[in-house]
Structure 1
Amino acid sequence: MVNQSSFTAVEKKASMSLSLIYGTRMFGLFLIFPVFAIYAKDMAGASPLLIGFALGVYGLSQSILQIPFGVLSDKLGRKVMISVGLVLFIIGSIICALADNIYWIIIGRAVQGSGAVAAVIMALAADLTAEHNRTKIMAFIGISIGISFVLSLIAGSFLAPIIGGLAGLFYLTAILALIGLIILWWVVPNPKKSSFHRDAQPVASQLWQMFNHPQLSLLNVSIFLLHMTLSSLFLIVPHLMMQAGLLQNDFWQVYAVVMVLAIIFMMPLIIIAEKYGKMKLVFMVSIALLGMAVYILQLSFAQIIIVYVALSLYFTGFNAIESILPSLVSRIAPSDKKGSAMGIYTTFQFLGSFAGGGFGGFLLGLGDFYLFSFLMLITTLWVLLLGFYMQHPKMISSALFKIKSKARKGDILKFTGVVEATINRSEKIAYLKVDNKTFKRQDFIDKFV
């Protein structure tokens, strides 16, 4: 029997090319994070509040427009809307590159974020893959986002002094988006047809139900707070590095060492969470690492070794949480409502980036103490919130399959490893929750697909 769960040539091409487009866009958005606070302070009209607003405003426009972009892609076509988004990103990048004051930077960053193509890329990925391979391509794209984030912190701090500061970085992001357009039209396969995918796209009638889901709400608040702390910290960390005697040209070395250490330290946490079912414990420990990092940064006393330790702790916790949260959403959300749950989740993520930049800048304007105190307070409350209200998640995952018309729900539920099943007869799709320890994917495919 042929292994139908392996990628076809088209699926491999789609996963690689779409991951590259998504990853380079996120790379461009985060490229300025490690140095923006340093360069922006000398711009006309700059203040801590406006610098923070400029850093995070992309999240506001992205959160507002991501669902409309997805809806329009159903009508106008995936590639058309991705192209519109990438062109907006190019325009926003050029506006920022040419800006001579903080207000034009804010406008440019808002335009960058308005090219909200994340959901559309996911929908195109779903169009180009068989149902039973869809979770794998989504995971592949997710990995590309993580790699892009890590590389952007190192590359941004390394390249800024070499290519002309912020202007050079923004021109680079425009070039990367242009390359993304070329990849989109010359490399990404054309789908035979575009369909609506409940596992990858929000359903309007489900949004309120998913928004009010108690356990999903905890995860939405968590991703909001995680990216809020990230945007806030990048308003002050570059200054702390300089106070510790580090030259701006050497920032990249700190981020390179810190990110390598964070990835190494994160791996045992992920293993404990996934293999031994200690998801809640690892989640809370990771948040505690964020709080510890903030506390240590506040007491850094201009010592570079303390900055290294604090940032290693922070990014260990950050990377662990960033890996755990999507997995939790997938496990907790009803199998046929995952697209709606993820749509709300990503909206909270981008809003957190906006809030962290804006409110973090406001607090920084009052003084370092206020920003650090706020961050320590919210991490403490965050741990308590999860401790009291988060349920221990079931160790299951989502799966979906295009099934035979004669396949019955009762028979599917009897299949070893299937925990939940929702059948959409009109689409001939089974949305499942499965126990990966006992579920035999290929056997299921042979029997029902």
Structure 2
Amino acid sequence: MTALEWRVAGSLAMIYAARMLGLFMILPVFSLYASYYPHSTDFLVGLAIGIYGLTQALLQIPLGILSDRIGRKPVIIGGLVCFALGSVVAALSTTIEWVIVGRALQGMGAISAVTLALAADLTQEQNRTRVMSVIGITIAMSFAGGMVLGPLISQYYGMAGVFWFTAALAVIGILLIMTLIPTPDQVLAHPDTGVLRGYLGKILQDPIMMRLNAGVFTLHMIMTASFLVVPTLLTDSLGLDKTEHWKVYLPIFLGAFVLSVPMIIAAEKYRKMRTILISAIALLVIAELVMGLSTHTLIGFLLGFLVFFIGFNFLEASQPSLVAKYSKVNLKGTAMSLYSMAQVLGIFAGGALGGYIKHHFGIQGIFIGNALVAGIWLVLAWGLPAIKFYTSRIIRLDPSYLKQKKEALEQALGQVQGVREIYIDSNTGRAYLKVDEHLDEQGLEVFTHPRSGSMV
């Protein structure tokens, strides 16, 4: 990677981190401070947490399409301004209703897809996977960081301090995008990172993709619903002062990370993805049941909490890979966009429905309900077909090949050993491929260099 690509990867990762911290930091603390707001109810508390996901879902694809027209940076800056404004509104709020308004404004800064598209605009094809990996690692680190930073900041500055902190992060993100990130020479619609018009229906009609979308929806729904009760449970039922909660979260997350890494490696290296995926969902079911039965037992509850995050870490890391593996090569970007929409809709459902369930069925009702929903997901995941372990590859075709008919070029590429799927984007001169481990690298390289004579 070039120095520019490392700068792009690092800066965009920091922008991602700013936004994700804004989401994750309130999860472990908001339910503890919600009673300070007038008119607060369990449902409104859940709505304040989850409304962020609803506005994210509604605007994510439209903003991605808008960025194809007017450019990435204006849309990203506008999204960060919305996020900062929402943070300020929430910080200044004296009622739960205004917190909900602030959280909705935060969610309107739905720039995840646009940020990935900007990364694609500014990086070479052969380095794009590495750049996306840097951004992906940052998201995982943001979750753990938010779980620890939220309790620490709220300990000294209250809930308003958490929102002011996220506003400051958004301002830093705006400065980064204005000073460190260059404007792309050309804005393109990328099949691997953005929505292609006319392809949404194909994903919605694909039963495999819909199973995966249902899975990530469920994962984030039960995670959000759990955090409606976990902080108050640690304080009220298990006797831990709220200033000490980070001392619980930090070792749990570190332990879960260490224990989930072997699962992630084994799933890819030994091609046991489907088996371990189903096992991880089963862990969620067990963990929710254990937590539901251990609301007055600290050791039992912490054990269930640990098991939950072992499964959560694996599923959060592996499911995007599954989307890439199961989707057609030209549908990957569209599939990932719908997957991300399902993810944030799960956050909304977990907050809103979780608040309703807590009000009517109590803390145990949340955990038992989560276990039932995870059980339904387990049944859906059982129906997933065998996974084909292909790798994505993007090549820039030599211009002379683009003079040929598209069908003939696809047929020629298909004759290269190891090439399994092909999509040629004539507008950009790129070929998006899925390849297996037997790929003939020299045979593929022929299509990227000038040639003499005509193509056979």
TM range (shorter): over 0.9
Matched with 1:46 is 40
CA distance in 2, matches of 1:403, 1:447: 6
TM-score using structure 1 length: 0.95
Superposed counterparts of 1:20-419, under 5 Å = 20-162=14-156, 164-242=157-235, 243-366=237-360, 367-387=362-382, 389-407=383-401, 408-419=409-420
Deviations 1:253-279 (A, max 9, x none): 111100011111101111221111111
Is the Cα–Cα contact under 8 Å of residues 193 and 333 in structure 2 kept in the other structure? yes
CA distance in 2, matches of 1:265, 1:357: 28
CA distance in 1, matches of 2:364, 2:175: 47
Deviations 1:160-181 (A, max 9, x none): 102x111000000000100011
Is the Cα–Cα contact under 8 Å of residues 246 and 304 in structure 1 kept in the other structure? no
CA distance in 1, matches of 2:443, 2:264: 28
| SS of equivalent residue, structure 2 residue 399 | coil
Report the count of equivalent residues: 440
Deviations 1:199-247 (A, max 9, x none): 1110120001111111111100000000000110000101111121111
| SS of equivalent residue, structure 1 residue 192 | coil
CA distance in 1, matches of 2:247, 2:442: 46
The CA deviation at 1:345 is: 0.7
The CA deviation at 1:288 is: 1.1
Letter in 1 for 2:338: I
Matched with 1:424 is 425
Is the Cα–Cα contact under 8 Å of residues 9 and 119 in structure 2 kept in the other structure? yes
| SS of equivalent residue, structure 1 residue 17 | helix
Letter in 2 for 1:237: V
CA distance in 1, matches of 2:388, 2:56: 32
Deviations 1:268-316 (A, max 9, x none): 1112211111111111111111111111111214232223211111111
Note closer, same or farther for the CA distance 1:52–1:440 as it changes in structure 2 (3 Å cut).
farther
Matched with 1:3 is none
Note closer, same or farther for the CA distance 1:78–1:300 as it changes in structure 2 (3 Å cut).
same
| SS of equivalent residue, structure 2 residue 198 | helix
CA distance in 2, matches of 1:351, 1:424: 31
| SS of equivalent residue, structure 2 residue 91 | helix
Deviations 1:374-432 (A, max 9, x none): 11111111111221x21111111222121113444344323343222222334321111
Structure 1 stretches lacking a partner, 5+ long: 1-6
Note closer, same or farther for the CA distance 1:441–1:54 as it changes in structure 2 (3 Å cut).
farther
Letter in 2 for 1:72: L
Structure 2 stretches lacking a partner, 5+ long: 402-408, 450-456
| SS of equivalent residue, structure 1 residue 145 | helix
TM-score using structure 2 length: 0.93
The CA deviation at 1:28 is: 1.5
Is the Cα–Cα contact under 8 Å of residues 233 and 295 in structure 2 kept in the other structure? no
Cα RMSD for the two superposed structures: 1.6
Letter in 2 for 1:431: Y
CA distance in 1, matches of 2:444, 2:158: 55
| SS of equivalent residue, structure 1 residue 115 | coil
The CA deviation at 1:443 is: 7.6
Is the Cα–Cα contact under 8 Å of residues 13 and 189 in structure 1 kept in the other structure? no
CA distance in 1, matches of 2:273, 2:249: 27
The CA deviation at 1:104 is: 0.5
Is the Cα–Cα contact under 8 Å of residues 424 and 430 in structure 2 kept in the other structure? yes
Matched with 1:438 is 438
Matched with 2:452 is none
CA distance in 1, matches of 2:269, 2:3: 31
Is the Cα–Cα contact under 8 Å of residues 87 and 103 in structure 2 kept in the other structure? yes
The CA deviation at 1:372 is: 2.1
Percent identity for Structure 1 against Structure 2: 38
| SS of equivalent residue, structure 2 residue 193 | coil
CA distance in 1, matches of 2:304, 2:400: 58
Note closer, same or farther for the CA distance 1:202–1:393 as it changes in structure 2 (3 Å cut).
same
CA distance in 2, matches of 1:170, 1:38: 15
Deviations 1:105-154 (A, max 9, x none): 10000000001111111111111012232222222211111111111111
Letter in 2 for 1:344: L
Is the Cα–Cα contact under 8 Å of residues 279 and 392 in structure 1 kept in the other structure? no
The CA deviation at 1:158 is: 1.9
* Higher mean C-alpha deviation, range 221-230 or range 375-384: 375-384
